[in-house]
Amino acid sequence: MELKTRTYETTFVLKPDLEDEEKEQILTRVKNTILDHDGEITEVDAWGKRQLAYEIKDYRSGDYTILEMNAKTSVVKELERIFKIMDGVIRYLVVKKES
């Protein structure tokens, strides 16, 4: 059975004290994960540092990035796996966009 390609939006929040090079490495890893699994990135929107609604892991602010992609569900599972193990990510969310 072939998995259907769907449109997803992922938002991830990085630690605000990361160096620009570390942020770029995380973004590159996320992009490569999507592309290596036959996904397509349609938009990347870096919001930068924003105040969090509540404290997360002793942080009051975070560096937000929103990424839209067309991918299969296997890509989403892999993205969630790497978000969990990356030290610089304090929160993430992947949602399916309505067509």
Domain that holds residue 85: 6-40+54-96
Instruction: State how far the Cα of 99 lies from the Cα of 85, in Å rounded to an integer.
Output: 31
Is residue 1 situated within a structural domain?
A: no
Is residue 23 situated within a structural domain?
A: yes
Is residue 48 situated within a structural domain?
A: no
Say how many domains are in the chain.
1
pLDDT tens-place string over residues 1-40: 457 889 999 999 999 999 999 999 999 999 999 999 989 9
Is residue 28 situated within a structural domain?
A: yes
Query: Domain with 17 in it: what CATH number?
Result: 3.30.70.60
Instruction: State how far the Cα of 16 lies from the Cα of 8, in Å rounded to an integer.
Output: 25
CA distances from 98 to 8, 9, 16, 51 (A): 9, 10, 31, 28
Give me the pLDDT at residue 13, please.
Answer: 96
Is residue 10 situated within a structural domain?
A: yes
Mean pLDDT on 27-54? 93
